[in-house]
Structure 1
């Protein structure tokens, strides 16, 4: 039996899906839309109207997209400055890929710094859980759950030995992550707390990319910047400014090495979906895997 394969998710494919979703939503032809990012989602600025569209890479992300929209409305109502869904536009699937529409933000006054993230996380971490059935009970932060899907997206471009190594590493780390004893009170987290997910507009910082908002260890949000410091070259002064603005350094927690290692596994596997047709991503993927095999934390990684 012949099985139809999903076309590769690149900019051209994302634009085709975007055009379908805009037509269904009654929006103008997005031929001139500007690509802002291409990762788990392709993010486009539509220009006119002042709307940003997110096209999910995988149809399996439909539930997550719906939850992100509900979470954004809830956090906005709770007084947390977040990106807001576009008024009157519901998410539109295109060939099964969810496409969501968001208000375009005012131009940034400057790039967000690590210190801008700390107060936002503190405010988020002080929230109680979401009320009532909407946006439903938040999931736990399944940091390692997408690893196999990301590796599958890398296809034949990946060395099977590298894939097997990362899957073994995931299998070893999952039980250890599940057994972590937090130092902070558990609750609402962002899940991917990086300065790139903060927009510094004229009225202050705004949280972006809410698809990984969860109910779990607050330490999940704090280990991200420590990995940025140790792996991606975030300067020491910037990391210290973040810990001071939040009020605590996650490296003082006994569970830090476990969560840091899991974050590095996830970050390496995430890159696999960028590898097909991208020699630079393949070289970086191999570099990261080699550093994990050798347990060499001095190797600096390059962001994608």
Structure 2
């Protein structure tokens, strides 16, 4: 990467762009297997001609104990991706056959412990214990769900922010959570975005129309929603040591969960 590479985002990974490449640097060594998985998925999607980000190297590097993956930089976006772009790509993904390697189940709650550990003393231990209890309860309920759609390949974090809208149309990015599981996982995300993050009702309706089905009609929707809310709250916790904004957002989220208030607005972090 060039010395003047620019930081694009900071979350599970620090993402830098320079020249024709993008580098994703994981927070810690525990993400190495996840990086390997993402590269394998990228190669599989390329083989099926799916419009998705393409890897520049077939295996991750390791720098100071952190996994680093390199990707071909996409053309500049022509505008923000919307729910229709996401739904179009999900229809393609959900029609794919199983790959010739094992896709893991969508371990939606698997990161909770690590995120809480990274939060450390920056959050109330009682809040951490509460999220662990929610994690365990929703994990058990999710395992018992009867799906409406056939199981198969899913993106796992199906949000418009994980779609790049370029000159040739929408392109799927951030493939780390690609899984083999309930297709409903990919659809609950936008339903939650409508309720928690201010996605307009007409935008959600467009998503449903393009995809062809509304996951809210499924009796298991509330379980997957609750599991995702738990994970999303714990995800913010890892940022709490870095500043007051993350601590305030974490407090807002965990309080709304404790109070059972599904209408409290959450803000992207």
TM-score range, shorter chain: over 0.9
1:67 match = 37
RMSD over aligned CA atoms reads: 1.0
Query: What SS does the aligned partner of 1:228 have?
Result: helix
Which residue of the partner structure matches residue 146 of structure 1? 111
- Report 1:77-92 matches (<5 A): 77-86=47-56, 88=57, 90-92=59-61
**Following the alignment from structure 1 to structure 2, what is the Cα–Cα distance between the partners of residues 158 and 59?**
24
**2:67 aligned to which of 94, 98, 112:** 98
- Pick from 39, 54, 64: which aligns with 2:24? 54
- What does 1:27-38 align with in structure 2 at a 5 Å threshold? 27=1, 30-38=2-10
User: Any gaps of 5 or more consecutive residues in structure 1?
Assistant: 1-26
Question: Cα offset for 1:95?
Answer: 1.9
2:15 equivalent among 43, 51, 62: 43
CA shift digits 1:93-150 (9 cap, x unpaired): 012210000000001111001111101001100001002xxxx201000101110111
Normalising by structure 2, what TM-score? 0.98
Instruction: Give me the whole-angstrom Cα distance separating, in 1, the residues matched to 2:166 and 2:237.
Output: 32
CA distance in 2, matches of 1:298, 1:145: 26
Alignment: residue pair count: 269
Q: What SS does the corresponding residue of 1:127 show, helix, strand or coil?
A: coil
Q: 1:212 aligns with which of 158, 177, 190?
A: 177
Partner Cα distance (1:125, 1:90) in 2: 26
Shift of the 261–272 alpha-carbon distance from structure 1 to 2, 3 Å rule, reads: same
For residues 242 and 218 of structure 2, what CA distance do their matches in structure 1 show?
Answer: 40
Structure 2: gaps (5+ residues): none
Output one character per residue of 1:58-114: Cα deviation in whole Å (capped at 9) or x when no partner: 21110110110010011011121000001x574210122100000000011110011
| Misfit runs of 4+, over 4 Å | none
Q: Rg bigger for which structure?
A: 1
